[in-house]
Structure 1
Amino acid sequence: MKRLFILISILAISCNKDETGVQTDKNSINLVTGINFRQDIDGTVLKLGNPNVLVNNKFLLYPNPANESVYILAEENVTDVWFVSANPEKIYQEINFNNVLSTNLYNEQSIISNSNFSISGQTSNSFKMNIGTLAKGYYKVFVKIGGKLYWDNLYKYENQGSNEEQFSKINDFWK
């Protein structure tokens, strides 16, 4: 009996998450596999990781990363916006998300129930949102345009430490 206990203890200690083969589903609403950094409308985009986003040239979210405010600029009117807290994982880096993601991948009720922040009833294609109350971290930002859902990944930072230090940490993570 004592040997069985020792064997079970050794097995339990030697296993870790990576060895279990459990991996976040590529369609998880809370998964961020990369991010597109952009300071303004016309700025250069810095792609880190393999962003699991579905923008389809329908909207632009900037600046990214953001601290207090973000802007949305769209071709058509945006009616709703949701920020869903997400976890960055360096998985699915070889997947072509253009072939996997679609506007009907997530249902609106699932987005609403996972949302940390939302704006409803918009009828504009250009607006500013104050996100200062959101916690530091990654978010999937969902927008509803023409009855369809699109999304981008956002990193929200706080004014602790220099922006260069924060960017270096993010950049190092996605290397």
Structure 2
Amino acid sequence: MAMLIRVDVNGADHLVDVEPRLLLVHLLRDELRLTGTHWGCDTSNCGACTVWLDDVPVKSCTVLAVMADGHRVRTVEGLESRSGLDQVQRSFVECHGLQCGFCTPGILMTARWLLDRNPDPTETDVREAISGQVCRCTGYANIVRAIRHAAETEREAS
């Protein structure tokens, strides 16, 4: 039996019929066609599916879509603004913070959340924030460098 839910995704209101067991990651990818959120493990181990639920990072493979009813969801597609890519996205490009890119959306969401709360994170702060994200391609050095570069660039601009 489907349930009607209302969810704000990246500032757009959606009224959607969903099965009660549908995961948020599948609502985003399959129903709303926001495929930037990657589905990696279904066990909350990899973090590729990380989105924000009311400004808090969550692994969308462990959140039921019905739990988002009446809430705000922000996906990696919501990072870009009219003025262009978010500074975290630009820094990942500039500092080679990605290789295959599969884990990147989840890490970008976690990084943006961190920098919104801590504009001057240490390397330890960054590594702790992204500790729930698994990147199978890198040793995390360029990822950490990219996040710290984004923080520095934002501080210099303000």
For the criterion TM > 0.5, the same-fold answer is no
Structure with bigger RCO (C-alpha 8 Å, 6+ apart): 1
Query: Greater strand share, 1 or 2?
Result: 1
TM-score where L is the length of structure 1: 0.26
Length-normalised TM-score, structure 2: 0.28
Higher helix share: 2
